Structure 1
Amino acid sequence: MVEIKTPEQIAKMRAAGLVVAEALKAAREAVAPGVTTGELNDVADAVIAKHGATSNFRADHGGLWFPGVICASVNEEVVHGIPGERVLKAGDLISIDCGAILDGWHGDAAITVAVGETAAENVMLSRVTEGSMWAGIAQMKKGNRLVDVSRAIEGFIRRQPLPPKGKWGITEGYGGHGIGTAMHMEPHVLNYVAGRGKGMKLVPGTVLAIEPMVSLGTPHTEVLADDWTVVTTDGTWASHWEHSVAITEQGPLVLTAFDGGRAELAKLGVTAAPDPLG
C-alpha cells in the first residue's frame, strides 16, 4: 500500500530533506582530485550528526549491511558504490547518494559531480540526467498518473542530442520509489514507460523519490562481488540524480532542495508548493 502523508508529516519530511540537502552540499564542496570517497562519507556523516539525524544508508538492507552514509559511485559505477579508500582523479565523475532520518521520517537525494574538468560527454550526461529528473518532478501534480512521471523522464532523455561518444542508456531494473516512514516504499517509479498500465493516480500526500540513472551506453548493469556496487556491463560512465518530492494541493514540493524546487520548476512553468517550514 502507498503511504499518504498529512501536511504535518510532510513538514517533518521537509526537515529531514533539508538535512540531506546540507549533507550533499558539503560533500559536493569537498569533491576534488586527491580526495577519497571515504573522506566524502565523513563530511556527510558529520552534517547528519550535527542535526541530530541518523543515516538510513548505514544499516542492514534485507540482510546486507551497507557501511557508509553515502553511496559514492564513480565513473562506470551507476549506484550503491561503497565509500572507502578510492582516490578521486581529475576528470572523474562521481554520483553521491545520501539519506537521513529525522524524527522518524526519511529523506533521500543524489547528485552527480565532476572532479575538476571532465570530458564534454560527461558534462552532457549529468545535465541530461538531472534535466530528466526535473521533467519527472514537474509531472507530480494532483490528478496525474505515475506513468506521467515515467513518460516525462524518458521523453526528456530521448529528445536530447546524442553525445559525441556514445548514446543515452536508461538503466533498467532500478528506479525511484515511495518514501516516508521507511526509505524504500511502494510504489516503484520506472524511468521509462513499460507496458500499458497507467499506475496509481497521484494524490496530495504522496511522496516519491524521483531518481533517473543514465549511462553513455548500455541500459544493462551487473553487481560487483561486494554485493553492492552496480556497474554498467559495457564500462560506459553513468550519472544519477535524485530528489524526494511531495505532492500537495498547491503543487509539488521538492523536500531535498533548499528552495523546495522553486527555481527549476519555474523554468518548466510549474509553481512549487509553499515551504511548510517557511
Structure 2
Amino acid sequence: MIHYKTREEVEIIKESALILGKAHGEVAKYVKEGVKTSFLDKIAEEYIRDSGGVPSFKGYNGFPYALCISVNEVVVHGFPGEYVLKDGDIISIDCGVFHQGYHSDSAYSYPVGEVSPEVVALLKATKESLYLGIENAIFENRVGDIGNAIQKYVEAQGYTVVRELVGHGVGKSLHEAPEVPNYGKRGSGPLLKEGLVIAIEPMVNLGTRNVVQERDGWTIRTADRKPSAHYEHTVAIFKDKTEVLTTHRYIEENFKS
C-alpha cells in the first residue's frame, strides 16, 4: 500500500527535514581526522532532541544509534563506535528525524583529508547520480525511470550499483512502499503520482556491486572491500513540480575538507 501525502503532510515532513538538515550540518563541523565516529553520533542525537525531534534510526528494528556511519568499504548501516577517522577515509553519514508524526531521511558522503583521485571521482559521480535520479522523479514517470537514470550514469563511468539495498517511501513510517531501486528499466515499476514522498539514495561501489552483511546483523560492506559512496534526499512529487524536502546546504556550509 502506497500512502500519498497531502500538501499539509508534506509541509510537516519539510519541518522534520529542516531539523535533519541542520543536524547534518552540526555533524559536518566535526568530520575530520582524529574524531571518533561515536562523537559524531552524540552530536547528531543531541541536536535532534534539542530541536524537538527524535532520531528515526535509534531503536528502529533494534538499531542502537542515531546515525548510520559507514567508513570506506562499508556501504550502509555501519555502527558509530571507537573508530577514529584518518586521512584518506571516506565516510557516509545517514540520518533520519521523526517530528510531529512524520519522518525525513538523508545521507551524505565525505572525504576525510586527502583522498585518492579515484575516490574523489566516485563521490562526485554518486552525488551527481542522486540529482539525475531526482530529475527523473516527476509526475507520471515510473519508479524504474529513477533507477535507470542512476544506473546508466554510474555504470558508464565504470562503477557499480548495489542491488540489495534501495530507496523507499517516507512518511509516518521510516520505510514505506514503494521500493526505489537505483537500477531498472525505463517505464517499469509503480507510477509516480501526486503526493508521493520517497527517499532516493544511490549506493555506488568502486569495484564489484556485490555486498556482504557483517555478523552484527546490520553493517553492509562491499564484497571486495573497495570503497562505496552514498547520498540521499527525501523528495515529494506533485503534478507541477518535484520538491526536494531534505537539504545538504548546512553540510556544505560547515564541512571543511
Instruction: Give TM class, smaller chain.
Output: over 0.9
2:81 match: secondary structure: coil
Choose which of 116, 130, 133 in structure 2 pairs with 1:133.
130
Choose which of 186, 202, 205 in structure 2 pairs with 1:212.
202
Are 2:182 and 1:169 equivalent residues in the alignment?
no
- The size of the alignment, in residue pairs, is 249
Mapped to 1, the partners of 2:36 and 2:56 lie a distance apart of 22
CA contact (8 A) 1:18 1:258 kept: no
- Larger RCO, structures 1/2 (Cα 8 Å, 6+ apart): 2
Please give the TM-score of this superposition, normalised by the length of structure 2: 0.94
Are 2:155 and 1:158 equivalent residues in the alignment?
yes
Q: Deviations over 1:5-24 (max 9, x none)?
A: 00000000001111111111
Superposition deviation, residue 118 in structure 1: 0.7
Superposition deviation, residue 67 in structure 1: 1.2
Superposition deviation, residue 258 in structure 1: 6.2
Please give the TM-score of this superposition, normalised by the length of structure 1: 0.87
Mapped to 1, the partners of 2:19 and 2:66 lie a distance apart of 12
Are 2:6 and 1:6 equivalent residues in the alignment?
yes
Name the residue aligned to 1:228. 218
Name the residue aligned to 1:179. 170
Mapped to 1, the partners of 2:153 and 2:167 lie a distance apart of 16
Name the residue aligned to 1:121. 118
Superposition deviation, residue 46 in structure 1: 1.7
Q: Which ranges of structure 2 fall in alignment gaps of 5 or more residues?
A: 250-257
2:195 match: secondary structure: coil
Are 2:97 and 1:107 equivalent residues in the alignment?
no
Superposition deviation, residue 170 in structure 1: 0.8
Q: Deviations over 1:145-198 (max 9, x none)?
A: 1111111111221333xxxxxx4121121110001000001111111116x871
Letter of the structure 1 residue corresponding to residue 131 of structure 2: W
1:13 match: secondary structure: helix
Mapped to 2, the partners of 1:47 and 1:156 lie a distance apart of 36
Name the residue aligned to 2:36. 36
Name the residue aligned to 1:257. 247
2:18 match: secondary structure: helix
1:30 match: secondary structure: coil
Mapped to 2, the partners of 1:94 and 1:120 lie a distance apart of 16
Instruction: Give the CA RMSD over aligned residues.
Output: 1.3
Name the residue aligned to 1:272. none
Mapped to 2, the partners of 1:18 and 1:156 lie a distance apart of 29
Mapped to 1, the partners of 2:50 and 2:237 lie a distance apart of 29
CA contact (8 A) 1:140 1:251 kept: no
Superposition deviation, residue 47 in structure 1: 1.5
> Could you say if the C-alpha distance between residues 205 and 170 of structure 1 is closer, same or farther in structure 2, counting changes exceeding 3 Å?
same
CA contact (8 A) 2:91 2:111 kept: yes
Letter of the structure 2 residue corresponding to residue 54 of structure 1: V
Mapped to 2, the partners of 1:26 and 1:122 lie a distance apart of 24
Name the residue aligned to 2:253. none
Choose which of 71, 91, 95 in structure 1 pairs with 2:92.
95
> Could you say if the C-alpha distance between residues 257 and 206 of structure 1 is closer, same or farther in structure 2, counting changes exceeding 3 Å?
same
Are 2:206 and 1:202 equivalent residues in the alignment?
no
Name the residue aligned to 1:147. 144
> Could you say if the C-alpha distance between residues 258 and 237 of structure 1 is closer, same or farther in structure 2, counting changes exceeding 3 Å?
closer
CA contact (8 A) 2:201 2:231 kept: yes
Q: Deviations over 1:196-248 (max 9, x none)?
A: 87111111100010000011101010111111110001010000110000012
Mapped to 2, the partners of 1:232 and 1:137 lie a distance apart of 25
